[in-house]
A and B are shown apart, each in its own frame.
Chain A
Amino acid sequence: MVDLFRRLAWLLSLLPLIAATPTAAERPLILATTTSVDNSGLLKHLLPKVTADTGLTVHVVVRGTGAALRLGTSGDADVVFVHDRLAEDAFVAAGHGSFRRDVMSSNFLIIGPHDDPAKIADLPDPAAGLRRIAQTKTLFVSRGDGSGTHNAELRLWTAAGLDPRVASGTWYRETGSGMGATLNIASALDAYLLTESGTWANFGNRGALTVLNDNALLNPYGIMLVNPQRHPHVPENDARKFIDWLTSPVAQQAIDEFTINDQHPFRSAAGAETTAK
Chain B
Amino acid sequence: MGEFGQGLINAATLIVSFDSDFLGIVGLSLRVSLSAVVIACLIGFPLGALLALSRFPGRGAAVAVLNALMGLPPVVVGLIVFLALSRSGPFGVLGLLFTPTAMIIAQTILVAPIIAALTRQTVEDLWAEYGEHLRSLNATRADTIATLLWDGRYSLTTTVLAGFGRAIAEVGAVMIVGGNIDNLTRVMTTAIALETSKGNLEMALGLGIVLLVLALTVNGVSQLIGASAQRQALRA
What residues of chain A have their CB less than 8 Å away from a CB belonging to chain B? 1, 3-5, 8, 11-12, 14-15, 18-19, 21, 27, 30, 35, 39, 59-62, 73-76, 178-181, 183-184, 187, 202-206, 231, 233
Report the 8 A-B pairs with minimum CB-CB distance, sorted nearest first: A180-B197, A205-B199, A75-B87, A204-B199, A61-B179, A1-B146, A74-B88, A203-B199
B198 adjacent to A202 (CB under 8 Å): yes
Which chain A residue has the least Cβ–Cβ distance from B30? A18
Which chain A residue has the least Cβ–Cβ distance from B46? A8
B38 adjacent to A184 (CB under 8 Å): no
Chain B neighbourhood of A233, CB < 8 A? 87, 95
Contacts A12-B42, A59-B98, A76-B97 given: A35-B184 contact, CB under 8 Å? no
Q: Does B220 contact A (CB under 8 A)?
A: no
Chain B neighbourhood of A206, CB < 8 A? 199
Distance in angstroms between the alpha carbons of A203 and B196 in the assembled complex: 10
A21 adjacent to B199 (CB under 8 Å): no
Shortest B163–chain A CB gap in Å is 15
A204 adjacent to B200 (CB under 8 Å): yes
Chain B neighbourhood of A21, CB < 8 A? 99-101
B39 adjacent to A183 (CB under 8 Å): no
A4: contacting residue among B87, B146, B184, CB under 8 A: B146
Chain B neighbourhood of A18, CB < 8 A? 31, 34-35, 38
Chain A neighbourhood of B112, CB < 8 A? none
Distance in angstroms between the alpha carbons of A61 and B102 in the assembled complex: 14
Shortest B213–chain A CB gap in Å is 22
Contacts A19-B35, A59-B184 given: A180-B199 contact, CB under 8 Å? yes
Q: Does B147 contact A (CB under 8 A)?
A: yes
A180 adjacent to B101 (CB under 8 Å): no
Which chain B residue has the least Cβ–Cβ distance from A184? B199
Which chain A residue has the least Cβ–Cβ distance from B178? A61
Distance in angstroms between the alpha carbons of A21 and B42 in the assembled complex: 20
Chain B neighbourhood of A183, CB < 8 A? 199
Which chain B residue has the least Cβ–Cβ distance from A183? B199
Q: Does B180 contact A (CB under 8 A)?
A: yes
Which chain A residue has the least Cβ–Cβ distance from B184? A59
Distance in angstroms between the alpha carbons of A75 and B200 in the assembled complex: 33
Interface flags for B112-130 (1: CB within 8 Å of A; 0: not) read 0000000000000000000
Which chain A residue has the least Cβ–Cβ distance from B150? A4
Chain B neighbourhood of A15, CB < 8 A? 35, 38-39
